[in-house]
Homo-oligomer: A and B are copies of this chain.
Amino acid sequence: MRTRDDKKQEALFLATIKLVNEIGFASSSVSKIAKAAGVSPSTLYIYFKNKEDLLVSTYYEIKAGMGQAMLNGFDDSRPVRDIFHLVWRNAFAYAVENQDEFRYVEQFSNSPYAGLADAVIIKESFEPITRVIRRGIEQKIIKDVSMDMIAAFMLHPIKVLANPNHCGQFEPTEENINTAFQMAWDALKL
């Protein structure tokens, strides 16, 4: 079950994401994913224990990448608002450039597999960000609310705006992105 050829594992991740986006979670069968990745269905079972393992691993893989992308250029010593701005822009850029990954996460979160993903593992990659937010709250720059509420107004609107399925009208021009950020910041700031 463990691996030699990392390219095949990578190909399976990509094929999974691509297929889930194209034909949906329900129709993405193991054999279709394997074919899309250019391997035999039985080969897939060398790299992953079963379908569930494949889907959950793909989820982890994306989340790790997302966390990294959001921390791009992260500098703890800068003022809270600046860090926040950076992180938000990073998140938005990622969402626009990696729509397939974003949509996969969305579908995964609403699937019966969601419960199988370990929330703690995920939260780890976002730890630096939560730390900054706590600092913002202490410094009375940000409203004193739970992390869930922060995320609800900071990140979830991004999910919607970046998804052309949900938002026919929204164009990610520099001006619009700035306005969107301003709204997010207005929601959070004291």
Residues of A within 8 A of B (CB): 1, 23-27, 42, 103, 106-107, 109-115, 119, 143, 145-149, 151-153, 156-157, 159-161, 165-170, 176, 179-180, 182-184, 186-189
Contacts and interface: CB of A to CB of B under 8 A. Distances in A.
What secondary structure prevails in chain A residues at the interface with B?
A: helix
A179 B145 contact: yes
List the number of copies, as a whole number.
4
Contact of A26 (B25, B152, B157): B25
Given A149-B183, A153-B187, 20 more contacts: A24-B25, A24-B111, A25-B110, A25-B111, A26-B26, A27-B112, A109-B165, A110-B110, A143-B179, A145-B176, A145-B179, A146-B170, A147-B169, A149-B180, A153-B153, A153-B183, A153-B184, A183-B187, A183-B188, A186-B189
B145 A183 contact: yes
Contacts of A145: 176, 179-180, 183
Contacts of A42: 1
Residue from A24, A27, A103, A145 whose CB has the most chain B CB atoms within 10 Å: A24
A162 to B, nearest CB: 10
B165 A148 contact: no
Given A143-B179, A157-B156, A109 B187 contact: no
Residue from A26, A42, A161 whose CB has the most chain B CB atoms within 10 Å: A26
